Amino acid sequence: MEKYHKSQFMKDIKITNGILDTSAALELYKKYLETPKLNWAKEMKRPVRSKILKAMCETHNKIGADPVNLINQTVAAGGKLLFWSDLHFYHNNIIEYAERPFKDINQMNQKMISNYWANVTDKDIVVFGGDIAYGSVEDTINLIKDLPGKKVLVLGNHDFDKNKSIYRDYKIFNIVTLGFVMQREVDGDIYNILVTHYPIHHEALPEKTINLHGHIHNQLPGSRNINMSVEMINFTPVSLEKEFEELIKKIRE
């Protein structure tokens, strides 16, 4: 297998005045997902099967869009920007696998839906970090179609039918995307927040860039990563501005 080298991800990635744009970031992300590397379990392998990655990229090329303008408009109008990921509605095995504190999927589903209603209004925008459900498309739509707020889906591996790579089109998201980049300015310096489903190792990230992601559930993230999986945020859509600020502060030290 190919060895892990930072240079193979950073080559040809352009940052202008500290700003990493979404187009360049997605090229880095795709290259990263195509390359065998040492994963979180200390195994050398590709992060995602080629069939699923192909389907994710094809879906983005077909219907994907950058949500940053919609996010900025929503926040400027007084709405909150909230995040959560890897809900896995209707997934029995996830309760044991990720040590979720629920007795069954009905309790799990209803708790997350209740938390959503308690924290999100129609003024807000929620980024779903991928892996929405294991249940049927119809059941999933019925569960979440009436949830308030604008919704962005960052494509995850389980947003495709198992072993088929067919996109599960829930038709409830304002924007679907493979990933995107937001910026935060601190003391005149620009910092990039790269939002993806899969985590990107800190050595593959450009300077002054942090990675917000899901996928790893209750595992601890890397040194320049924030894990938005529901297990890490009390199964509730949350603002992560404080977490962005704290991680950027660590990077600056």
Quick one: pLDDT at residue 6?
A: 52
Distance CA 225, CA 205 (A): 10
* Residue, of 18 and 52, whose pLDDT is higher: 52
* Residue, of 200 and 3, whose pLDDT is higher: 200
* Residue, of 245 and 6, whose pLDDT is higher: 245
Distance CA 75, CA 123 (A): 9
Q: What is the rounded average pLDDT of the residues 15-24?
A: 86
Cβ proximity of 13 and 28 under 8 Å: yes
Q: Is position 2 within any domain?
A: no
- Residue 88 pLDDT exceeds 60: yes
Q: Is position 238 within any domain?
A: yes
Q: Angle at the Cα of 218 (from 179 to 102), degrees rounded to 5? A: 115
Quick one: pLDDT at residue 204?
A: 87
The 3-class SS string of 62-125 reads HHECCCHHHHHHHHHCCCCEEEEECCCECCHHHHHHCCCCCCCHHHHHHHHHHHHHHHCCCCCE
- Residue 161 pLDDT exceeds 90: no
Q: Is position 42 within any domain?
A: yes
Q: Is position 1 within any domain?
A: no
* Residue, of 15 and 1, whose pLDDT is higher: 15
The two beta strands, 150-154 and 125-128, are parallel
Number of domains in the chain: 1
Q: Is position 96 within any domain?
A: yes
Quick one: pLDDT at residue 202?
A: 87
Quick one: pLDDT at residue 135?
A: 83
Residue 53's pLDDT band, with cuts at 50, 70 and 90, is very high
CATH number at residue 206: 3.60.21.10
Q: Is position 22 within any domain?
A: yes
How many angstroms separate the Cα of 222 from the Cα of each of 164, 219, 232? 31, 10, 14
Residue 45's pLDDT band, with cuts at 50, 70 and 90, is confident
pLDDT averaged over the chain?
91
Q: Is position 147 within any domain?
A: yes
| Residue 203 structural domain | 7-252
Residue 1's pLDDT band, with cuts at 50, 70 and 90, is very low
Quick one: pLDDT at residue 46?
A: 82
Quick one: pLDDT at residue 11?
A: 63
Q: Tell me: the pLDDT tens digits for 201-235?
A: 888 898 899 999 999 999 999 999 999 999 999 99
List residues bridging with 177 in a β-sheet.
154
Q: Is position 70 within any domain?
A: yes
